[in-house]
Amino acid sequence: MTVAPLRQAALPTARAIRWVPLVGVSALVLLVLLVARTSQRPVDLVLAVASAALACAVVGALHDPAALLLAAAPVSVMRRRLLRLTLVLLPALVVWGVLASVSHASPGATSPGPLLALAAAGVAVAVWTPAEPGVLVGASVPVVWFALDMTVPGSGLLSDAAGWWRTAPQAVVAVALVALLAGRRR
């Protein structure tokens, strides 16, 4: 299969994507970051919240109102999802770059790894969840994982696993990609 059908579908897909959540989250997080920075508050937590919020917006972009109509198209569902993710993830990474450059946070906090880990986990859950609630459940994964990371006390395995999206984002992305490849026919 060539890339031509996806290239032709890029503009209509970009028009069909709901951009308001990504724009709204980006503006709100930038505003909060600027307020935190001007008040001399630590911004590392704001960047962690931004990771979860942007990841939710990226996963939420998988919602395809024309999925039933496009089911008969010669392009697979996974390729259409990949196109949607590419169209939304690139602006999300640009927003992340702006946030990282504005924040003046610690070097570890400005890495896009946590954003990619949360987004990949959410996409994997969205792909494996039944079609109707799949995107909603997948989009809630980044926020739930962030909340677990902030609330699970202690230093045991559960506490460590709740923080893997921050401490080992490459491993989380790798596991999510394996899950996506295993579910590519779904």
Pick the residue with more confidence: 44 or 75?
Answer: 44
**In sequence order, what DSSP letters do the residues of the chain get, joined into one string?**
--SHHHHHHHHHHHHHS--HHHHHHHHHHHHHHHHHHHTT---HHHHHHHHHHHHHHHHHTT--TTHHHHTTSSS-HHHHHHHHHHHHHHHHHHHHHHHHHHH---GGGG-SHHHHHHHHHHHHHHHHS-HHHHHHHHHHHHHHHHHHHHH--SSSHHHHHHTHHHH-HHHHHHHHHHHHHHTTT-
Provide the residue ranges of all domains of the chain, joining segments of one domain with +. Answer: 4-182
Pick the residue with more confidence: 131 or 156?
Answer: 156
Give 157-173 pLDDT, tens digit per residue.
Answer: 888 888 899 999 999 99
Pick the residue with more confidence: 80 or 144?
Answer: 144
- Write down the pLDDT at residue 181: 85
Pick the residue with more confidence: 40 or 52?
Answer: 52
- Write down the pLDDT at residue 80: 78
- Write down the pLDDT at residue 130: 79
The structure's pTM equals 0.87
